[in-house]
Chains A and B, each alone.
Chain A
Amino acid sequence: MPGAQPVPDSTKGRYDLPAKTAANDTPVIEMRGITKRFLDNVANDQIDFTLHAGEICALLGENGAGKTTLMNVLFGYYSFDEGSISVRGEQVALASPKDAIANGIGMIHQHFTLVPTQTVLENIVIATRDEKRFFLNLKGARKKLLDIQKQFGLYVDPDTRVWTLSIGQQQKVEILKALYRNSSVLIMDEPTAVLAPQETVELFKTLRVLAEEGRSVIFISHKLHEVMEISDRVVVLRNGKVVNQKRTADTDVKELANMMVGREVLERIERQVVEPGEPVLEVNDLNVLNDKGLEAVKNFTLTVRRGEILGIAGVSGNGQTEMCEVLFGVRGAETGTVSVGGQPLRLGHPLSSVRSGLARIPEDRIHMGLLMDMTVEDNLQLENHWTGRFARNGLRKFDEIAANSQTLITDYSIKTDGKDAPAKSLSGGNLQKIILARELSSEPEVVLASQPTRGLDVGATEYIHQRMVEEKVRGAGVVLVSDDLDEVMGLSDRIIVMYEGEIMGEVAGSGADREQIGLWMTGVKS
């Protein structure tokens, strides 16, 4: 099975390459027959992957397809079980990121590897080996950094502390970090997941500059139109295997989608129009501080009616998390009131939120939504174990509980070994279904779903979208908070955009102007 796949000559791609690389067509990277197992889970199965100088290669695949794992192998971060890796024609042993860096490979992880309390410059100079000195040479480093910033047009103040930067700026710091080490291969793991549309445009400009210089970029994504826009070549992974690779010019979104998922994909959920009823969620003049004591949500006012989905768009980190936490009852507010179905919530009291008829679907399902070491049944019971239906005089009614668990597992088609299996044995999509089952089975008045499909595969995502629409049709008020603009635009009846804790604007869901929303997401008022 291992063997060179026919790889299109990148010199015929969209960008002209420097003569030196055009003449020498040894691939920069050649991975052959890579197999990586986690216990008995085969994350990468006999993968061949080649990369040429000056090429932007997209690695496309659903969540869990094995993209990150393959790149962590190339970055020396994971050891692998079978296969070999060559860099510029020579076989190398990449035992740690140190070796990869020495071979000119830089990786920007999905979760940034920055230290928030340190300055940009400190984050960049750490562990560079350009001088044998005991003391930090911040002066020299600053000069070198400014040169690189000028060369690539990536400007970030070297002396600011990283925690004060926006996500987009932090990503620039990560790119600068890789360039500072003179990486000729840049791996970017889902770099656009956290960016506003305009920031994505800017990132793509940078990547093109890098490619024109003769550097190579591996661009990981599951967003098809981005892959079409930026890449020269696409490698599609599914279940740990390369299912296909094509020159981007020779394929289209539909074909890529089918290769990625392995079946026809519904383009989008049918939008069902329901006449909205009376207001069911009212948020008035909410002001909230974040963990650092800074203003996270400012003068936030919002009304949601029965039978509508209100989408809240925005780059993550603009107060959505804190706003949701207040409604969930796990964070207090400085000022403001919230009422659900006409009844005011006691802010900062989780039980008040639970009893109000608010379905809580938190963005961090593993830490906030579930107890991973407890059983599926326990997780289904979290919010109603004390109710008369499931307990009498403080003792639990096990027959009733078991019957209920069984019903929910069937109704929500939760794939599990049974109600007594530990939650941690379930996949991400099924974990989310546990939360849905728990929250929606009581027919809530308001559904607040924060990043409900983040990290889930296409099947689970479709299921969750379907449920959101069903809740709306049933007559609940649904709030969908997501940093995936496609998701918000596809489902919502109304869309508001949050930026730095404030509402930048509101548009109707159908026929919403993507450009306009994108501007609001980056703080441009119009």
Chain B
Amino acid sequence: MIGEILSVTFITGLIGAMMRMATPIIFAMLGEIITERAGVLNLGIEGIMLMGAMTGFLVTLSTGSLWTGVFAAALVGMVFALIMAVLVVYLGLSQHVSGLGITLFATGLAMFIYRLYFGSPTVPPIVKPFSRIEIPLLSKIPILGQGLFHHYSLTYIAVLLIPAVAILLYKTKVGLKIRTVGENPFAADTVGVNVNLTRTLCLVAGGALMGIGGAFLTLAHQNMFLLDVIGGRGWVAVAMVIFGNWDPVKGAIGALLFGLVDGLQLRLQGLGLHVSFDIFLMIPYVITIIALIGVSRRASVPAALLQPYRREDKGG
């Protein structure tokens, strides 16, 4: 058994699985980071991912175009984020309650729409999913090549988005505005930044990424829609935001670790040990919790997270 684990194919396969499993979490985590850096916690993430997964699947099935499906998933993510914005940014409602409400609503709605189209089929409908792309030359590197450079285009996009979001946050004017809105909205307002508009735009951008993260699961990772397709990955993304201390690169490291453990448990299941597979399924989540306990003591939360901003409430 040790021999099996140390074999080249096992390691290559594990790296590949890590990347695949991490992809939807990276999308969702980056979306959540952009949102939280502006001071809004979006707990609608799990529901938005499910809506993205369902919409992407449905649109691809009816148009035959995978990219149209991805685009539709992003769009539906934006719409739900916009609802969230109305509730928490403009009406100032509790971000926890609103986010969970959106998740419950979106979950019900996704199932409802799916049933409306397909009833309860014995064989679920399927799409022809994305195929993987080998990057010339790089994919020929021994051991690592096939693990790192033979993936779905969405996985490459997710990886490229990590530095892109980091640059956006730390190197651009927009990023400085976003961070200031999340740390001290009063300060942002007094230098002429539109706090609530910034928050809304961040929510919407984040919603698009969450929707795409969901669509990855029905259009690439799998080829069908199941109600539990997200399986708590939205919550894991929220955990990774904290694990990464609201930093895209550190968060991505967390997502990759989660992907690694997830890939590992799948392979351990395949080794035929006499342990219930539910135990294996739990492993990544248990490790996430343990990691969070270690990290969250030194977490530096955006100071204005969860606080609605009204001009005449403050300023004395």
Contact = CB atoms under 8 A, between A and B. Distances in A.
Interface of A: 38, 68, 72, 75, 77-78, 96-98, 101, 107, 109-111, 113-118, 122-123, 125-127, 133-136, 177, 181
Nearest to A131: B173
Interface in B270-316: 300, 303, 311-312, 315-316
A364 B173 CA distance: 36
A101 B189 CA distance: 11
Given A109-B190, A114-B187, A38 B177 contact: no
Interface in B180-194: 180, 183-184, 186-193
Contact of B189 (A77, A114, A134): A77
B172 interface: yes
A428 B173 CA distance: 41
Given A77-B315, A126-B193, A127-B188, A115 B173 contact: no
Interface in B80-126: none
Contacts of B192: 96-98, 101, 127
Contacts of A109: 186, 190, 315
Contacts of B303: 115-117
Given A77-B189, A126-B188, A117 B183 contact: yes
B316 A110 contact: yes
A78 B315 contact: yes
Nearest to B302: A117
Contact of B315 (A68, A123, A135): A68
5 contacts: A78-B312, A111-B316, A127-B193, A134-B172, A181-B191
A113 B176 contact: no
Nearest to B192: A98
B190 A38 contact: no
A253 to B, nearest CB: 26
Contacts of A114: 184, 187
A306 to B, nearest CB: 39
Most A CB within 10 A of own CB, among B175, B179, B187: B187
Contacts of B189: 77, 96-97
A112 to B, nearest CB: 8
A519 to B, nearest CB: 32
Contacts of A135: 171-173
Interface residues of B, number: 25
B227 interface: no
B8 interface: no
Interface in B205-232: none
Interface of B: 171-177, 179-180, 183-184, 186-193, 300, 303, 311-312, 315-316
Contacts of A136: 171-173, 175-176
A131 B113 CA distance: 48
A388 to B, nearest CB: 41
Given A113-B187, A127-B191, A136-B171, A122 B316 contact: no
A96 B176 CA distance: 20
Contacts of A115: 179-180, 183-184, 187, 303
Contact of B183 (A98, A118, A177, A181): A118
A126 B315 contact: no
A114 B183 CA distance: 9
Nearest to A75: B190
B36 to A, nearest CB: 14
Contacts of B315: 68, 72, 77-78, 109
A133 B191 CA distance: 18
A117 B183 CA distance: 8
A68 B311 CA distance: 14
Given A38-B312, A78-B311, A78-B315, A113 B190 contact: yes
A116 to B, nearest CB: 8
Contacts of A133: 173
Contacts of A177: 191
Given A77-B315, A78-B312, A118-B179, A97 B172 contact: no
B316 A134 contact: no
A111 B312 CA distance: 15
A127 B172 contact: no
A68 B314 CA distance: 11
A101 B191 contact: yes
Contacts of A110: 316
Contact of B316 (A68, A96, A101, A125): A68
A77 B192 CA distance: 10
Nearest to B298: A293
Contacts of A75: 190
Contacts of B172: 134-136
A110 B315 CA distance: 8
Given A123-B187, A126-B193, 18 more contacts: A38-B312, A68-B315, A77-B190, A96-B189, A97-B192, A98-B192, A109-B186, A110-B316, A111-B316, A113-B184, A114-B187, A116-B303, A122-B176, A126-B188, A133-B173, A134-B172, A135-B173, A136-B175
Contact of A127 (B177, B311, B316): B177
Nearest to B183: A115
A77 to B, nearest CB: 6
Nearest to A71: B315
